[in-house]
Structure 1
Amino acid sequence: MSELTDGLEYILDWLESTNLELFDCYNPGLTRQQIDKIVKDLPFKLSEEIYELYQWRNGIADLGFNNYYPPVEFLFPNQLFSSLPTSFSTLQDSVSNYYDFWQFEQSNMMDKPFDDYKGWDQKWFPIALFENKRILYVVGDIEPSPVYFIDFIFIENPLRVYKSLTSMISVIAECCELGLYQLIPDESGEEDDMIIRIDEEKLELEKEIYQKYNS
């Protein structure tokens, strides 16, 4: 396996060892041919890392309550600091979201809200989001692509930038290994809902790990 797939599998194994009731809440991966068919009309090429990601798993499954055991959604950074999960989108949803964002951007460009307005770029491809507010995206035609984590309201100022998808997953996997995350009850959720949060006393160590893979 590659470093990226190794990291993804490590995170999933860590989740299962942390919470015995956790199930694999991700869809099975796609074949390369299936990915090619889904993305064939995009105006850019996706990086090999994105192909590898969707060959590993195709986003969060729509499982409902799954016999009253809700999934712990954990893969991308926003979930470590916020109660709003940035869910790993299926490739089909990512393509649909891309066209929605770009259509919205084209309408804005016809009537800019202000002179220096800068919005969604045509080569930005979303792979995870929360209600179109917090978004994780990669850039088409770049190999490997950086990964940007943004608040859509402040699109020009990313919350974080990773050198690549591999570097982002490596940061999360190492934080799992070193015990920086904790599984706690979700006070705003249902009785059995759990969330994963970074230990606030270990925030500086998390920043050091981020720098290690992204300097």
Structure 2
Amino acid sequence: MSALTEALNRILHWLQQYSPNAISGFAPGLPLVEIETKLSQLPFRVSQEVYELYQCRNGNPYDGVFVYHRLLDLDGALEYAAAINKSYWREVREQDGDPQYLFPVLDFDGEYFAVPGGDASSPHTSVFHIGCDDGSLSLAFTSLTNMMLAIAECYETGIYTHINGDLEVADVVRFGEVRRKYNPDTVAALYADGW
């Protein structure tokens, strides 16, 4: 079992114990052939981690499971990818030295976590935070695997918890510390309050 699948299983195990209604929204994973067929329509390639993610689970409409975000189902991710990869946005990103193509996997009200696309698929790739106000990019995680490892640790240590029926980050400073532990050389903080 890969580290990504193991981290996802740790997250799902925690949710099963402490927030069963959040886990109930997870759709089963898709067959690799179906994922390959759908992703082949993109004008770019994504990392192998994206294929593995969608083999494990195909989305969850419940906001909050992954740092306030929900896992997009593959069809939804493809729709959002079409919108954020229009030529204007690609040109802006290229001028800023950012990846031209992005594939969003997590969403919260127009704010995304997305992996860059390229000419060839690689085993791992960075995860960028896309701001909802201005579309700005920040290097948030060094890979999907490291993102999920950080989130799993945050669940298991009480940093990310179930409060009054919602999943929330209980200690944003400690969340930031764990995120940077697994993801050195990423932005110091995703949000102004330190995490």
What TM-score comes out, normalization by structure 2 length?
Answer: 0.80
Alpha-carbon shift at residue 165 of structure 1 (Å): 0.3
Aligned partner letter, 2:145: T
Alpha-carbon shift at residue 8 of structure 1 (Å): 0.6
Unmatched segments (≥5 aa) in structure 1: 62-71, 80-85, 186-193
Alignment length, in residue pairs?
180
Tell me the alpha carbon deviations over residues 164-190 of structure 1, each in whole angstroms, 9 at most, x when there is no partner: 0000000010111111122122xxxxx
Alpha-carbon shift at residue 23 of structure 1 (Å): 4.3
Q: What is the 5 A alignment of 1:83-122?
A: 86-103=69-86, 105-106=87-88, 122=100
**Aligned counterpart in structure 1 of residue 125 of structure 2, from 141, 145, 150:** 145
Q: Percentage identity across aligned positions?
A: 29
Q: What is the 5 A alignment of 1:45-194?
A: 45-60=45-60, 72-77=62-67, 79=68, 86-103=69-86, 105-106=87-88, 122-131=100-109, 133-141=110-118, 143=122, 144-158=124-138, 161-185=140-164, 194=165
Alpha-carbon shift at residue 98 of structure 1 (Å): 1.1
Partners of 2:22 and 2:65 within 8 A in 1: no
Partners of 1:119 and 1:155 within 8 A in 2: no
Tell me the alpha carbon deviations over residues 120-151 of structure 1, each in whole angstroms, 9 at most, x when there is no partner: 954211112233x2111001136311011121
Taking the aligned partners of 1:107 and 1:92, their CA distance within structure 2 comes to: 21
Compute the RMSD of aligned alpha carbons.
Answer: 2.6
Aligned partner letter, 1:211: R
Taking the aligned partners of 2:179 and 2:89, their CA distance within structure 1 comes to: 37
Taking the aligned partners of 1:34 and 1:108, their CA distance within structure 2 comes to: 27
What TM-score comes out, normalization by structure 1 length?
Answer: 0.73
Residue 197 (structure 1) aligned with residue 175 (structure 2): no
Hey, what does 1:67 align to over in structure 2?
none
Rg larger in structure: 1
Partners of 1:137 and 1:148 within 8 A in 2: yes
Secondary structure at the counterpart of residue 155 of structure 2: helix
Alpha-carbon shift at residue 154 of structure 1 (Å): 3.2
